[in-house]
Structure 1
Amino acid sequence: MKKSLVALAALAVAGVASAQSSVTLFGVVDASISGYSNTARDNRATVFPNAFGIPVYLNQGSVKTSRRELANSGYNSSRIGFRGTEDLGGGLAASFWLEAPISNDDGQQGIATFARRSTVSLSGGFGEVRLGRDYTPTFWNDTVFDPFGTNGVGTNLVSTANTAFGGFGTPAASTGAFTNVGSSNYVRASNSIGYFLPPNLGGFYGQVQYALAEKTKYDSGIFTPNVLNSQRQGRYIGGRFGYANGPLDVALAYGSSTVGDDYYVGTTTKVNTLNLGASYDFGPVKLFGEVSKAKNKIDYEVTPLAGGRPDIDLTGYLLGVTVPVGAGLIRASWSHVKLDQNLPNNPFALNTPDPKANKIALGYVHNLSKRTALYATIARVSNKNGAGYTVGG
């Protein structure tokens, strides 16, 4: 559970270099005083020996942990960036976008890495072609249709669970506190080629993205090193298509991220994600919803006699609402996730139910100006059957 009250300040400064080009400095500084509390309870009863020789089980009781800290990015992600556009004539424009994460609570991370976004693009009547590190199509639905925008402790469980579900993490860890750009394709993908539809399609929008694994291939293949995750890990392909007109916004997204491979065993591990999100603004209230399905699967070049490892499924749901109140905004959401390992039932053992969790979040934002706001958020996660999701911290 977390309660936080903080002032959010965003500063954007634009400078025009010429009539045909512009460069903009932009950013957000977000700080919160945060508190977290987690309690784990053993709900199984103590079992004593009996005539059948059942071993003793002693109830483990409960343990509680808590933490207080000065955090960042509780309402909006702290960041600083530079973006620019040059008019090339004939309806064409060239653009760049460099955006760095900031840990303003301790100052450890600043303009040392553009891990949030690092792209260059060409746009025109055909749409936009974008190259570099960027958001994945499948992440957009998780954040756009979340009243909390996947920021702070209000972040929906669909996002929290997928963050862990799609990680691969084989590349060397980043230095110090710098964001590791080689451990997941869930939120962003590096080395990507993206295409965006033009904005004049009567409310229809869409994008496709392909991210290169950047692995070395050997010809002949017998010279391939016997090293895990050396051939395909890191590759991503996905797309998102939607319709936004008036109060309605709805979008469907699909993506496949290669999270592991073993060349000599002949396996490729992928996380395939399909999600559908929508929002409708009634005026007094705005409703949000999302359904998400993710599958961690192993493709076998030669299927083992035992059938191989079963697929692991992650199912998530999200319902949310925002209510404008004067200069403020009330935000609330409920989210649910369930993890299914598809293990066969064993009639001679106690089968563990599938891990699952529910989360409720409630928040209020009070706008002091167009750039500054105060906010407070409280959230609670209830885990069952071994699930271990938290609100953060």
Structure 2
Amino acid sequence: MKKPLFALITLTGCGIALAQSSVTLFGVVDASVSGYSNRSNDERAVLLHQGSVKLSRTALSNSGYNPSRLGFRGTEDLGGGLAASFWFEAPMTNDDGATGVSSFTRRSTVSLSGGFGEIRLGRDYTPTFWSNAVFDPFGANGVGTNLIHSANNFNVTGGTGGVAGNPNVLRASNSIGYFLPPNLSGFYGQLQYAFHEQTKYDPGTSTPVNALGVAAPTRAGRYVGGRFGYADGALDVAVAYGNSTSGDQFYLGTTDSVKTMNLGASYDFGPVKLFGELSHSKSSRNFAVTPMAATSGIDLGGYLLGVTVPIGAGLVRASYSRVHYDRNLPFTLLDDPKASKLSLGYVYNLSKRTALYATIARVSNRNGAALTVGGAAFISNAVFTPRLSRGYDLGIRHAF
């Protein structure tokens, strides 16, 4: 619901009213009963076989259909086609009330827009995340979230050969973004650069070291990415690329990075809407002086196929996603980890703002992959290997 700026000033007790300005309060409250079941198997020889072990959980959760959130956004018309805007959006855990407007980690930006496009500063979504969400029938939410998005943190296979995970899978802090103007005959795009804001030391040997002998990071956190696409009527297609510096160690002369590229598309035929995405990511470690036993990193390839079918006030959603890890080991008899996921859901819209939804999903892991639909992490050790993960969401979403 929209509130004029003077109303916000009345509530807060301070501020200056500006002509041709507006502030909007908005949000989503999403709650669901969710169940998770993750099973690991003993895949050794029959004489050693100890069966399987299953971890299960039932919970009242949030964000099964849309992320629960509370936000404030405002715009001031500066004249001459220019506008200044802000956007503060906080995550909410409405199932327990523990998280609210204590931080605006979903988005916190200020921007200037006009005929040239928009320049946006602050914490925002990364370009490479957008395709994972836009071209997923489940919007990368709940147990139905596609495996491409789930796997892109590179922390799901029991280790990545010493390479750090990806801190900028969804969002990047301390970023400067540029968005093309919306009147380019269907073409759209964005560029983003995020500062690492780490302290550099000169000479480098003065870099402080903690009690474990690890030097303070000097480059971790940096992100560079872009996304360009075309949307006209039923068709939407986009390509994105991002490079995230995930870690560094001065004394070892190493820099860890995750490079991601994806291509996604959707086409709305009316009776059905089809979705698809191809993705490739590489988590690697660069050495100033390459040692004898340098790791070659991990390549992650994946694809997604999805569909939505409107039926009256309802919407059927389905997707199949698959990922494959290439550990780039030159001499090994072990097969590389891989996983596949099938998701099926139904949404019934009670109104434009309120919906009931149900989702079920199943993940099948092979060769050490450990992707889940949610809940507790798999038991993974010398005896048990992650295998199947199943889950469901039954919930209600209200937007305001």
TM-score using structure 2 length = 0.85
- Equivalent runs, 1:241-320 vs 2, <5 Å: 241-306=228-293, 308-320=294-306
**Per the alignment, in what secondary structure is the counterpart of residue 374 of structure 1?**
strand
Q: How big is the shift at 1:301?
A: 1.1
Partner of 1:155: 145
1:360 is aligned to: 342
Give the paired residue count. 351
Which one of the candidate residues 206, 213, 233 is aligned to 2:189? 206
Within the candidate set 90, 115, 118, 1:125 is matched to: 115
Residue of 354, 373, 380 corresponding to 2:355:
373
Q: Select 2:220's aligned residue among 233, 246, 257.
A: 233
**Residue pair 2:199, 2:218 contacting (<8 A) in 1 also:** yes
Alignment correspondent of 1:334: 320
Whether the aligned pair in 1 keeps the contact of 2:207 and 2:216 (CA below 8 Å) is no
Distance 2:330 2:205 in 1: 37
Q: CA deviation at 1:113?
A: 0.6
Preserved CA contact (<8 Å) 2:154 2:283: no
Please give the root-mean-square deviation of Cα atoms over the aligned residues, in Å: 1.5
Spell out the pairing of 1:1-393 with structure 2 (5 A cutoff): 13-17=1-5, 20-46=20-46, 58-165=48-155, 184-226=167-209, 227-228=214-215, 230-306=217-293, 308-346=294-332, 351-393=333-375
Q: Residues 275, 385 of structure 1: CA spacing in aligned structure 2 closer, same or farther, 3 A cutoff?
A: same
- One-letter code of the match for 1:215? Q
Deviation (angstroms), 1:34:
1.0
Name the CA distance, whole Å, in 2 between partners of 1:352 and 1:98.
48
Q: Distance in 2 between matches of 1:379 and 1:228?
A: 42
- Calculate the TM-score normalised by the size of structure 1: 0.87
Q: Which moved more, 1:35-44 or 1:265-274?
A: 35-44
The answer to whether the 8 Å contact 1:21/1:84 transfers is yes
SS in structure 2 of the partner of residue 163 of structure 1: coil
Q: Secondary structure at the match of 1:264?
A: helix
Change (3 A) 1:34 1:305: closer
* AA of the residue aligned to 1:326: G
Unaligned stretches of 5+ residues in structure 2: 6-17, 157-164, 376-400
Query: Could you give the per-residue CA deviations for residues 30-51 of structure 1, whole angstroms, max 9, x where no partner exists?
Result: 000111112222233236xxxx
Q: Distance in 2 between matches of 1:245 and 1:27?
A: 28
Please say if residues 208 and 216 of structure 2, whose CA atoms lie closer than 8 Å, have aligned partners that are also in contact: no
Please give the per-residue CA displacement for 1:10-34, whole angstroms capped at 9, x wherever unaligned.
xxx1023365110000000000011
Q: In 2, Cα distance between the equivalents of 1:113 and 1:208?
A: 25
C-alpha distance after superposition, 1:319-373 (max 9, x if no partner)? 0000000000000000001111111224xxxx22111111000000000000001
Answer whether contact 1:229 1:260 (CA < 8 A) is retained: no
* CA deviations over 1:49-74 (Å, ceiling 9, x no partner): xxxxxxxxx12311112111100000
Once the two structures are superposed, residues 62-98 of structure 1 have per-residue CA deviations (whole angstroms, 9 ceiling, x without a partner) of 1112111100000000000000000011111000000
Unpaired segments of 5 or more residues in structure 1? 1-12, 48-57, 167-181
Displacement of 1:375 in angstroms is 0.5
Query: Which residue is equivalent to 1:9?
Result: none
| Equivalent AA in structure 2 for residue 117 of structure 1 | R
Deviation for aligned residue 1:228: 3.6
Structure 1 distance, partners of 2:52, 2:292, is 43
State the shift of 1:164 in Å. 4.1
Cα distance between partner residues in 2 of 1:222 and 1:382: 47
